[in-house]
Amino acid sequence: MHVPPRHADAAIGPEHDPDAAVSIHDMTVAYQRRPVLWDLDLDIPRGVLAAVIGPNGAGKSTMIKACLGLVPKASGSVRLLGGRPRAVRGRIGYVPQRESVDWDFPVSALDVVCMGMYRRIGWFRPVRRRHRDAAMTALDRVGLADFAKRQISRLSGGQQQRVFLARALVQEADLYFMDEPFASVDAATESAILEVLRELRDGGRTVVVVHHDLQTAREYFDWLVLLNTRLVASGAMGTTWTPGNLRSTYGGRLTLLEDVGRAMGEAGGGIKR
Amino acid sequence: MSGPILATGPETEGLLRILLLQDFNTRIVVAGAMLLGAVGGLVGTFLMFRRRALIGDVLGHAMLPGVAGAFLLLQVLGFERNLPGLLTGGAVAATLAGLMVLGLRKITRLGDDAVMAIVLSGFFGFGVVLLSIVQTTGGGGQAGLEDFVFGKTASMVTADVVVIAIGGLGVAIVGSILFKDLGLLCFDESFSASIGRPSGLLDLVLLTMAVLTALIGLQAVGLVLVVAVMVIPPAAARFITDDLRKTVLWSSGIGATGCWIGVTLSAVAPGLPAGAMIVLSMAGLFVVTLVLGGRRGLVPGWLLARRVRRRVGRDHLLRSMLEHRELTGESEVAVETILGFRVWSAGEVSASLRAGRRVGEVVEVEPGRWRLSERGELEAIALVRNHRLWEYYLLRHADIAASHVDRAADRIEHVLDPVLVRSLEVEVGAAIGARAPESPHPLGDVASVEEPEPGG
Amino acid sequence: MLPDWQWSYDGWIVLVTSLVAVICAIPGSFLLVRRQAMLGDAISHAVLPGIAIGFLISGDRGGGWMLSGAIIAGLTTTVLTQFLRGIAGVERGAALGVVFSTLFALGLLLIVQVADSVELDPACVLYGQVELVPLDLIDIGGIQVPRVLPALIGVLLATGLVVGLVWKELVVSSFDPATAQGQGVPTAIMNQILMVLVATACVVAFESVGSILVIALLVTPAAIARLFTDRLLRVVVISAAIGIGFSMLGHFAAVAGPTLIFDRQQAVSTAGMTAVVATIALGIVACLPVIGIRGRRQRSHHYRT
């Protein structure tokens, strides 16, 4: 019998919004032989700072990895910046979780930042002075200019995270995916990262951040994707940050909901909006 | 000594004699080899979980200077070449190598792999140096030592098997006494240390067990290949089970079986090198478990993945067709329309449709137009209900993410208790309403049709 | 100096082992920082069936058949190991152990079955006979040079060229594969390039000096260099220099050691002695308190939460 190719990208169906930075349709991701994301359907517009929020195991990192094609999809399709992920890969920046690399590797902070420019430098060409200068500028922006020559294991966790961020900066991508950049970093790093993220957004770029801290989410971001193995809600922070949506995301975690309530109270009582 | 195990005779008779262990010598060799395989499987499991699987390779290679050194020493002192002396030399050298691995690991920031490669090359190099001395001092010693490098199972005698049996039993006893402590060390070293288990001492015990295994493997498979006895069986067992205890048992069983097959093959064809035959037999068993192993084997894994994919496809198809009927009131729908329901390819849709037709859930009214059968409709309703109940449950009650729940596959009744399901149905009642009756059909029915027989 | 040191003989040996040291230093540094140090040992064993099959096809030791057989066997090792790790989820060390021990056993079987064991001795693959290098000379432009010399120089140039061209791609795919892919670097191909370099080193070494020398010169010099520097390029350069030092010291010890210690005139294996010298040197360096303390302090800086 004739069996047609089973290509997710060959799929047809509802049109993707070409103006969206991220457009996901009907995405189901089976990870470890079990679906962990069901029927995901969402658009994230360009030029926003978006938080992906949900409990542990909700599939937040999986969603990002599936968008980038690092994890195979069981069904559905993804468009980034209006094109297929593979085709626009050069315009996408990815900041992985810190544990994903070997920090004992004998490279300096500056070397790591330069890696963000390898596509632009091209094959067979060495890293030149101007590339190193650009990397130094990026390190300076995250406050690490003095540590450029340091081997990366001799940086603190927060500094390592900022090195990753500097590498994302030199990529000059239009769309960034960042996996838990705020996880276990010091306060100085947190505000440095936030500042950079806002600069990126103000420069018209889109940043999608996996975030775990409900307390800060509302203050930091202007677009919200609530995820719990399926999409709970996706939209502008003001309209999406509602008790109902949060409860839907986090279920009956009462203590947590109290925290949320307090957080919302502190944030200026945005519940009634 | 190194000749065939059996007296020559008609081939089939010889084979039978070997298989039935009629020959005393065969019995000895088979028993020794199987013991070696079992012990290797036991020790190897812990080494693998400790992420030091290749230490067996280091210990094996490190025995060369020990054996050659002992040979030279015996020669200088004027003794005959004797096995216990050579083995003692090997044991001393292997222990030194093991200690050097643990020591370098402690005082440098080099990784396990680097330390192992460094120690291996140094000891083996020293062995080569000593071997070149043996070579130039003349005498028939070199040929005898080569047996240790590549193995000569057939030359095992009763005394060797007794040695193997004692060593093997010792390892097995220590392994079972310290089973849970070694298991904890492999799983979570810091916790193990925090409850007062000395990691260094346990590593030393594990090292001693590995040295003993390498030692008894030296005769049978040779020092270059002794690593196989400690690596292949546990790796194969991992395809079969996820449980540490069962991994140990399977691993020992696979090791013993592999050694038995290898020894038998090399006895049937005396020209074949026994050590290599043992390793290749184990490799054969490894391939079998790789392909068929129930836990992580390729075929079960592939079948599982295909089943998940098909289930997702069926789920999407039935729900889409039900929704279409409810929105438009039309029960028939064209393939092109179905294609527009979701993001899926024509291939996916037609595969799902064909699968649905096979089990009688959808009917092709005319070419390109389909509708749900009566049974398909019941199934679709049940699916929608299941999805909604799960979602509702996740919204209201679940305090952790539901990544462990497969909403299409796990009937909510199978996971949650009936009282909760009833209350969910009541709560969700209005939403499901007319579309999904409370109990569309007997639940047993659902389970029986859930996994359609291929081609049925 | 020793009476029986002859530059026309010992000089060639030192030159050849030094070339092997540099050839090994380049891929060896990468293996070290990628935590794949045992791969050299594994590949040097696993090339045996390739050598046997090459010998079976061509019927003699020379020629490209054994070389290509060995390279194919080396690549098979890494492909199978990757397969077992990736698809079947076998732990890295165990996957390597399964593959190379099986291939080595297969090689032994093939050699015993097909090849005349006098002509193709599995032991020779492991130990090597550097001592024979100066006896097997060919004439190039009127100068008598060891037959392996042109091949070694060729491999050295090729290795240097390849690594020089794709240096930054090799580094990024070793350090952070996800970023490498984002930057358009095909990580799988970069890994295979590295493996080809390791396999080539093993094969030319088998032809000339024996696998033990390769195992010793791949990882140990790089490990020593790594204790002194935090930059990968420096690791490569320093380990090449250290490797050359070990080659000289190793051969000197092999020739002079027996005379000095036992008053014996017969030299011992140069390949073996070089490996011993390398490991002893690493042991000494590791025990130097300064380095030891430095190593530990750095590890405590290493956060992984």
> What is the 3-class SS of C129-186, one letter each residue?
CHHHHHHCEEEECCEEEECHHHHHHHHHHHHHHHHHHCHHHHHHHHHCHHHHHHCCCC
The residue range of the domain holding B123 is: 11-295
State both tokens at B13.
């008779």
State both tokens at C252.
């000197």
Q: Is the dihedral of CA A220, A224, A228, A229 positive or negative?
A: negative
Tell me the shortest Cα–Cα distance from A228 to chain C, in angstroms: 24
State both tokens at A149.
């020559």
- Contact yes or no for B50/C96 (Cβ under 8 A): no
Tell me whether B303 touches chain A (CB under 8 Å).
no
Task: Please report which confidence band the pLDDT of residue C295 belongs to, taking 50, 70 and 90 as the band edges.
Answer: very low
Neighbours of C284 (CB within 10 A): 11
SS3 content of chain C, % helix, strand, coil (to 5): 80, 5, 20
Neighbours of C203 (CB within 10 A): 28
Name the one residue in this structure whose structure tokens are 């690791």. Answer: C235
Tell me whether C106 touches chain B (CB under 8 Å).
yes
Task: Fill in the amino acid letter for A18.
Answer: P
Same domain, B139 and B91: yes
Q: Which residue of A has its CA nearest to B110?
A: A104
- B132-183 pLDDT, tens per residue? 888 777 655 566 677 777 766 556 667 777 777 888 888 888 988 888 888 8
Tell me whether B345 touches chain A (CB under 8 Å).
yes
pLDDT at B401: 43
Same domain, B325 and B436: yes
Reported as type and span, the H/E element at residue B427 is helix B418-432
pLDDT at B155: 63
Helix (H, G, I), strand (E, B) or coil at A50: strand
- Contact yes or no for B91/B66 (Cβ under 8 A): yes
Class of domain A38-263 as given by CATH: alpha beta
* Helices (H), ranges, B269-334: 274-292, 298-328
Task: Fill in the amino acid letter for C9.
Answer: Y
Task: Please report which confidence band the pLDDT of residue B46 belongs to, taking 50, 70 and 90 as the band edges.
Answer: very high
pLDDT at C123: 66
Domain closes at, from B245, B263, B295: B295
Query: Are the Cβ atoms of B224 and C104 closer than 8 angstroms?
Result: yes
pLDDT at B436: 43
pLDDT at A161: 92
Query: In B, which residues are within 8 Å of A26 by CB distance?
Result: 342-344
- Which of A144-153, B160-169, B427-436 shows the lowest mean pLDDT across its residues? B427-436
Task: Say which CATH number the domain at B67 has.
Answer: 1.10.3470.10
Residue B398 has pLDDT above 60, yes or no: no
Task: Fill in the amino acid letter for B115.
Answer: V
Residue A167 has pLDDT above 80, yes or no: yes
Domain closes at, from B246, B263, B295: B295
Query: In B, which residues are within 8 Å of A55 by CB distance?
Result: 399-401
Query: In A, which residues are within 8 Å of C35 by CB distance?
Result: 102
Q: Is position B4 within any domain?
A: no
Running DSSP on this structure, what letter comes out for residue A51?
E
To the nearest 10°, the Cα dihedral for B274, B277, B282, B284? -170
Q: Is position B276 within any domain?
A: yes
Residue B455 has pLDDT above 50, yes or no: no
Query: Are the Cβ atoms of A28 and B402 closer than 8 angstroms?
Result: no
- Between B62 and B434, name the one with better pLDDT: B62
- C203-219 pLDDT, tens per residue? 777 767 778 888 889 99
CA–CA distance, B262 with B30 (Å, rounded to integer): 9
* Mean pLDDT of the region B388-409: 55
Measured CA to CA in angstroms, residue C144 lies from C4, C12, C151 at distances of 21, 11, 15
pLDDT at C232: 94
Residues 187-206 of chain B whose Cβ lies under 8 A from any Cβ of chain A: none
Q: Which residue of A has its CA nearest to B347?
A: A4
Residue C248 has pLDDT above 60, yes or no: yes
Task: Say which CATH number the domain at B445 has.
Answer: 1.10.10
Query: In A, which residues are within 8 Å of C223 by CB distance?
Result: none
State both tokens at B104.
């370098």
Residues in chain B: 456
State both tokens at A73.
């999809």
Residue A89 has pLDDT above 50, yes or no: yes
pLDDT at C23: 93
Measured in whole angstroms, how far is the alpha carbon of residue C212 from the centre of its chain? 8
Q: Which chains sit next to B, with 3 or more Cβ pairs under 8 A?
A: A, C
* Mean pLDDT of the region A124-140: 92
- Contact yes or no for B160/B215 (Cβ under 8 A): no
Neighbours of A270 (CB within 10 A): 14
State both tokens at C155.
């491999």
Phi and psi at A108, nearest 5°, equal: -90, 170
Helix (H, G, I), strand (E, B) or coil at B372: strand
Query: In A, which residues are within 8 Å of C226 by CB distance?
Result: 106
Residue B441 has pLDDT above 50, yes or no: no
Strands A92-95 and A175-179: parallel
pLDDT at C270: 87
Same domain, B254 and B330: no
Helix (H, G, I), strand (E, B) or coil at B111: coil
- B172-215 pLDDT, tens per residue? 889 888 888 888 888 888 888 888 888 888 999 999 999 999 98
Task: Fill in the amino acid letter for C74.
Answer: G
- Contact yes or no for C294/C226 (Cβ under 8 A): no
Residue A1 has pLDDT above 60, yes or no: no
Q: For C7-296, CATH number?
A: 1.10.3470.10
Q: Give the number of domains in chain B.
A: 2
Task: Fill in the amino acid letter for C267.
Answer: A
Radius of gyration, alpha carbons of chain B? 31
Residues facing residue A52 across a β-bridge: A210, A225
* Mean pLDDT of the region B266-274: 80
* Mean pLDDT of the region C146-175: 92
Tell me whether B397 touches chain A (CB under 8 Å).
yes
Same domain, B183 and B306: no
Terminal Cα distance for chain B, rounded: 61
Measured CA to CA in angstroms, residue A222 lies from A51, A207, A247, B80 at distances of 8, 10, 20, 86
Same domain, B269 and B336: no
Residues facing residue B22 across a β-bridge: none
State both tokens at C52.
């046997």
Residues facing residue C143 across a β-bridge: C140
pLDDT at B139: 58
- Between B163 and C176, name the one with better pLDDT: C176
Tell me whether A8 touches chain B (CB under 8 Å).
yes
Walk across the sheet containing A231-236 and list its strands.
A92-95, A175-179, A206-210, A49-53, A223-227, A231-236
* Mean pLDDT of the region B8-14: 58
Q: How many CB pairs under 8 A join B and C?
A: 214
The minimal CB distance from A119 to the residues C33, C183, C226 is found for: C183
pLDDT at B99: 94
State both tokens at B72.
């030279």
Measured CA to CA in angstroms, residue B436 lies from B322, B326, B339, B432, C96 at distances of 11, 12, 25, 6, 55
* Mean pLDDT of the region B94-121: 92
- Contact yes or no for B90/B70 (Cβ under 8 A): yes
The minimal CB distance from A157 to the residues C171, C231, C305 is found for: C305
Residue A116 has pLDDT above 70, yes or no: yes
- In percent, the amount of chain C with pLDDT more than 70 equals 84
Q: Is position B455 within any domain?
A: no
State both tokens at B149.
């490098």
- Contact yes or no for C243/C263 (Cβ under 8 A): no
Q: Which residue of B has its CA nearest to A37?
A: B403
**Which residues of C make CB contacts under 8 Å with A?**
33, 35, 165-169, 171-172, 174-176, 178-185, 226, 229-232, 235, 298-299, 301-305
Which burial class, exposed, middle or buried, applies to A262 when counting CB atoms under 10 A from its CB (0-12, 13-18, 19+)?
A: exposed
- Contact yes or no for A31/B401 (Cβ under 8 A): no
Q: Is position B148 within any domain?
A: yes
Neighbours of C116 (CB within 10 A): 9
Residue C278 has pLDDT above 90, yes or no: yes
Q: Is the dihedral of CA B300, B302, B307, B308 positive or negative?
A: positive
Phi and psi at A41, nearest 5°, equal: -140, 105
State both tokens at B51.
């992420």
Longest Cα–Cα distance in chain A? 66
CA–CA distance, C104 with B221 (Å, rounded to integer): 12
**All structural domains of chain C with their residue ranges:** 7-296
Task: Please report which confidence band the pLDDT of residue C108 belongs to, taking 50, 70 and 90 as the band edges.
Answer: confident
Query: In A, which residues are within 8 Å of B109 by CB distance?
Result: 104
Measured CA to CA in angstroms, residue B97 lies from A45, B115, B119, B145 at distances of 61, 10, 6, 20
- Contact yes or no for B312/A74 (Cβ under 8 A): yes
State both tokens at A91.
């315009």
pLDDT at A188: 85
Same domain, B311 and B195: no
Measured CA to CA in angstroms, residue B374 lies from B46, B352, B360, C179 at distances of 56, 17, 9, 52
- Contact yes or no for B449/B379 (Cβ under 8 A): yes
Neighbours of C160 (CB within 10 A): 13
**Residue (of B203, B162, B165) closest to B43 by Cα position:** B203
**Up-side HSE of residue C280: CA atoms within 13 Å toward CB?**
12
Neighbours of A130 (CB within 10 A): 9
Same domain, B243 and B356: no
**Residue (of B128, A217, B223, A68) closest to C126 by Cα position:** B128
CA–CA distance, B54 with B240 (Å, rounded to integer): 21
Same domain, B92 and B177: yes
Query: Are the Cβ atoms of A228 and B402 closer than 8 angstroms?
Result: yes
Same domain, B130 and B105: yes
CB neighbours of B20 closer than 8 A, spacing ≥ 6?
Answer: none
CA–CA distance, A46 with A52 (Å, rounded to integer): 15
- A213-261 pLDDT, tens per residue? 877 888 899 999 988 878 888 888 888 877 777 777 776 543 444 444 4
**All structural domains of chain A with their residue ranges:** 38-263
- Contact yes or no for C18/C244 (Cβ under 8 A): yes
Mutation for testing the C interface, residue in B119, B129, B225, B277 having most C CBs under 10 Å:
B129
The minimal CB distance from A10 to the residues B301, B345, B354 is found for: B345
To the nearest 10°, the Cα dihedral for B127, B132, B137, B140? 80
- In percent, the amount of chain A with pLDDT more than 70 equals 84
Tell me whether C220 touches chain B (CB under 8 Å).
yes
- B49-80 pLDDT, tens per residue? 988 889 999 999 999 999 999 988 888 887 77
Helix (H, G, I), strand (E, B) or coil at A207: strand
Tell me the shortest Cα–Cα distance from B383 to chain A, in angstroms: 14
Same domain, B290 and B311: no
Instruction: State chain B's mean pLDDT as an integer.
Output: 79
